[in-house]
Amino acid sequence: MQFDAEREVKRLRELHRYQILDTRREPEFDAMCELARKSLRLSMAGIAFVDRDRVWYKAASGVALTEVPRAGSLVDAAASEGGHFEIEDAASDPRFRNNPCVRNPPFLSFFASVPLVSPNGYVLGVLCVGDLQARKLDDGGRFILGQIAKVVSDRIRLHRIKIERTRENARKRARNAKIAEQKSEIGKQRRLLEQTSRIARIGGWEYDVQERRLVWSAEIFKILDLDPNGQQPAFEDVPQFYHPDMRDEVVANIKDALRLGRAFEMDFPILPASGAKRWVRCLCEAECDRTGAVRRLIGTIQDITDQIATKDEITYIATHDVLTGLPNRAVFQDRLAAALKVAGQDVGRCVGLVLVDVDHFKEVNDTLGHPAGDALLAEVGRRLTEAAGPDGLVARLGGDEFAIMSPVSDDGRENGILANRIMALLQEPVAYGDESIPVTASLGSAVGRSGELADQLFKDADIALYEAKASGRNRTVPFNRSMRDEIELRQLILRAIRHAIEADELLLYYQPQYGLRSEDLFGFEALLRWKRPDGFVAGPAFFGIALEDPQLSLIIGDLVLDQAVRQAAAWHRAGYPFGHIAVNFSTSQFRRGDLAEMIIDLLARHAVPPAMLSVEVTENVLLARDSGNVVRTLARLSGHGIRIALDDFGTGYASLTHLKEFPVDLLKIDRSFVSTLLDQRESAAIVRGVIALAHDLGVAVISEGIETVEQRDMLRALGSDYAQGYLFARPMPAEDAEDLLRGIRMRATG
């Protein structure tokens, strides 16, 4: 892509808008250069912008450059190219062999770059890397360089945004000064208007002190539901229309106005002749004679009933859940915090918190519709209010979650009593049209003591609620400290594994599998290990929690698959007779929808025959909610020639009938049966039956966890095809597995 003259003018104009040329060095750009240089293991990197007659470097790593002439420069050629630009050996390239940076220090040989493009498509410059040795970037290197270039482009745009924001702030300050001047003038006009409104006779009144005569306008008669043509009330009789709640306060203000000439403005309720409560705003001013004595009171009355109603409605909406009429989370948290502050004033009294989560609420919405879900929530709120009684406060926190706060003793036994009442009241299904909606709930409770924070009490009750749901729902779980410790340990492990992934500390060990009759190597199972910085190699027992996390299990699963396929490719190229590598897959990997295509593409990319990979799934994966997707994925993989193994058979709820529904080639008998094979007749009977039925279905059987010769011999007698366990070999790093394979090959060849 050559720069034509017209486009070059526009490109330079766009570059200069960024105001980045000749600016000081910035750590963020230096860091990007350093990242590019180290990631690609090259000697130098730079961020360069192509000006009219020069190439100016915003940042550089491994080389000292500020600017060079544009003509004949590598950067200009790269920017003109417009895409990924790469020169393997500049010294042998006739275009650049005489370039000063090639002939002279730093004696550049290899050069590659990615353009830095503005949002409207103009090439402003390049992110470039170089080396003193001739080389060529692979696809991974080009990808890394491109990703870093995207970050640099974002940084450039951020620089421009900061410049524009500075300008905008200056304009805003000038505009605010003008607005302040206008506000001052408007304030003067508003005060003049307010004075005019106070003496206006719209809803106006006046009282002549000497004559003791009160005069109302027709509007005030209307406000009080009186006949304008009727008799004018006496001044002393007016307080009868004031609501008792504020009557004394209004009368006191009137007296101060008469005695001291003090003006006032106040809102208060009245009781007009109809008896319907209204709110009015009263303004009163006094007129005094030369001696300072009050001669007359004048003022206005405005009916503000609708304004008060609107304000009350807004307040209600802001503090209550519209669907159930219960207080919302914000109000509940404020009340809870206040209750905790005063809890210690009554010896032995604490604050009980119960969180209630309606079980399977989403299914009600999905099957019966949102109106049915709304009706269910409203009725649950009513029943919870009944259960809480007059001393409890019930709130809807959002969605299908409610909270109840009530006074409890230090041991929190009242929480248990309240939970039992809730469970009893929720047993009755909720009627909705012709439907009867069953209701169950999970409850978590905690006790807060004086001085504790409301947020911590919420966390404790939420932890207990999580335990209730994890234990099968429709139950109550009180909080105890060990639960918090478990949650904190879980978070600690998850953080450690995330760091381990970033630090490339997760690796695979390989445990051999053998034929029970021939004792020949059948294959390997890939097992995840964590090589910690202290050198200790940890198994899943140390980080199994991470494998249960939906997001981490997906990341780890992809990492395991990639490492296993790469290892299979290496062994295949070396000619090692390793059979296959078995890889375990989680439910989260199947949910992604494209697992089969990803595995097939990965095998093809590394030239690994499908038979060299075995996909292992547990019973829980087969019986997951999206089992239809699992069936389709396994069928696609099986049709491609990839072996499917059912792992840990017998530990869940799967049965041999599932072997007809799923394309299973290999059934793995769980170690729990193998370990009790010699001691429990039931285990032996189960294993014998499973092996026989599996063989009838054409499914091979592998027994795992074999640790003794007696177990091996009995499984061989029962007909197990393959074996795996410490008796044969422990899981080993790839290097040891290669030694094993090398020995097998040597024995096979002579």
Tokens of 458: 């919420």
Q: Report how far residue 724's alpha carbon sits from residue 721's, in angstroms, rounded to the nearest whole number.
A: 11
Identify the pLDDT of residue 192: 46
- Segments of the chain scoring below 70 in pLDDT: 1-3, 185-202, 343-348, 623-627, 650-659, 750
* Backbone angles phi and psi of 535, in degrees to 5: 95, -15
Identify the pLDDT of residue 195: 47
Q: Report how far residue 165's alpha carbon sits from residue 168's, in angstroms, rounded to the nearest whole number.
A: 5
- Give the residue among 719, 659, 651, 708 at the shortest CA–CA distance from 684: 719
Tokens of 283: 């303004």
Is the overall model pTM greater than 0.75, yes or no?
A: no
Identify the pLDDT of residue 198: 39
**Is the omega angle on the peptide bond into residue 106 within 30 degrees of 0, that is, cis?**
yes
- Contact assessment for residue 125 and residue 47, using Cβ atoms and an 8 Å cutoff: yes
What does the H/E/C string look like for 702-744? EEECCCCHHHHHHHHHHCCCEEECCCCCCCEEHHHHHHHHHHH
Identify the pLDDT of residue 650: 60
Identify the pLDDT of residue 390: 92
Maximum distance among all alpha carbons in the chain? Answer: 134
Tokens of 681: 């007749």
CATH numbers and ranges of domains, the chain = 5-165 (3.30.450.40), 204-308 (3.30.450.20), 330-386+409-479 (3.30.70.270), 494-748 (3.20.20.450)
* Backbone angles phi and psi of 120, in degrees to 5: -95, 15
Q: ∠ CA(737), CA(738), CA(744), 5° rounding? A: 95
